[in-house]
Amino acid sequence: MRKSKIVSLLLVFVMMFSFLAACNQTPAPAPTPTPAPAPALVPAEVIAEAVKGFLTTIPDNNYIMAADAALKLNSENPDAVFWVDMRSAEDYAKGHITNAVNIPYAKTGEKLGVLPTNKQIVFQCYSGQTSAQVTALANMLGYNAVSFRGGMNFGWAPLNLGEATLQTTENKLPEPKKPELDAKKQILWDAVVSYFTDKNYIIAPADLDALVKENPDAIMVLDIRSAEDFAKGAIATAKNIAFKEVGKNIDQLPSNKPVYVTCYTGQTAGITIAPLRLMGINAISLNRGMTGWTGAELGVVVPK
């Protein structure tokens, strides 16, 4: 009996010790929750966001610099300017603006790495239309770029400076630099690189006139001039959205048929079509805009 009591007391002590030990234990820390992975970027959404941001923040100069102003800047402060002649290598060799390097339009995607981030870039072509496309895309990538108004044919030539003022020796391209890009910027960079082919996305007035007459429902003509000028006369079937309003009205543009964009001389149309094409809209610029259209003696209508 006495032995049984001793065993019972021992059991009570063991239970009490276990209870006290359990009460004094520090609770184990709660496991740190694993953060949810960031949602994968959708390239189409990234590009659409960039396009809308660009087209809704066009500056007063429309990313276009008058020919005389650009030449003066290049002459007075050449170290602050990076001049890119986008014509063919053959035409560049015949004579080009002093200090200009040659990057033919179709090769632009391969040469983006040579563009400086600390200089005023001036893109210059024949008429200002392809340089406008490149200027738009360069600014979307963060470069400080303008298009040389009118190009060599309609900007430089009317100044009557003479071919003796042109340089014929080649200016070497600088070594390309690999940019440091985050995921969004990389998506945009890759889209811009892929943009450039042997197509310049420009249509002749006569060809657009034929499309308007043959099957107007299969295309859209977008006139980005002012409402006042549009009201004075426009291409038949054209819809008017002023240049700086296009970004706010992209949802009005079809994705299932070509959009032919016209402006005054084709240059703001060039600024417009490049971003639109990035986001999948088949936008094409009218050669020389309404200047080219009326110069070809094609008719206009007064919109109702």
pLDDT in tens, 125-142: 999 999 999 999 999 999
Residues of the chain with pLDDT under 50: 1, 7, 10, 12, 14, 17, 19-20
The residue from 154, 178, 195 where one domain ends is 195
The residue from 134, 163, 195 where one domain ends is 195
Q: Using an 8 Å Cβ cutoff, are 293 and 235 in contact?
A: yes
What is the DSSP code string of the chain?
-HHHHHHHHHHHHHHHHHHHHHHHPPPPPPPPPPPPPPPPP-HHHHHHHHHHHHHT---TTTTEE-HHHHHHHHHH-GGGEEEEE-S-HHHHHH-B-TT-EE--GGGGGGGGGG--SSSEEEEE-SSSHHHHHHHHHHHHTT--EEEETTIIIIIIGGG---GGGSB-SPPPPPPP------HHHHHHHHHHHHH-SS---EE-HHHHHHHHHH-GGG-EEEE-S-HHHHHH-B-TT-EE--GGGGGGGGGGS-SSS-EEEE-SSSHHHHHHHHHHHHTT--EEEETTHHHHHHHTT---B---
Would you state the pLDDT for residue 12? 47
Domain that holds residue 140: 43-195
Would you state the pLDDT for residue 127? 98
Would you state the pLDDT for residue 27? 57
Q: Residue 7: inside a domain, yes or no?
A: no
Q: How many domains does the chain have?
A: 2
The residue from 167, 195, 223 where one domain ends is 195
Asked whether residue 159 falls in the same domain as residue 219, the answer is no
Asked whether residue 180 falls in the same domain as residue 136, the answer is yes
Would you state the pLDDT for residue 141? 97
Asked whether residue 144 falls in the same domain as residue 278, the answer is no
25 phi/psi in degrees, rounded to 5: -70, 140
Asked whether residue 47 falls in the same domain as residue 75, the answer is yes
CATH number at residue 258: 3.40.250.10
Q: Residue 32: inside a domain, yes or no?
A: no
The answer to whether the pTM exceeds 0.85 is yes
Give the position of tokens 């001036």: 122
Residues β-bridged to residue 124: 85
Q: Residue 25: inside a domain, yes or no?
A: no
Asked whether residue 106 falls in the same domain as residue 126, the answer is yes
Asked whether residue 101 falls in the same domain as residue 184, the answer is yes
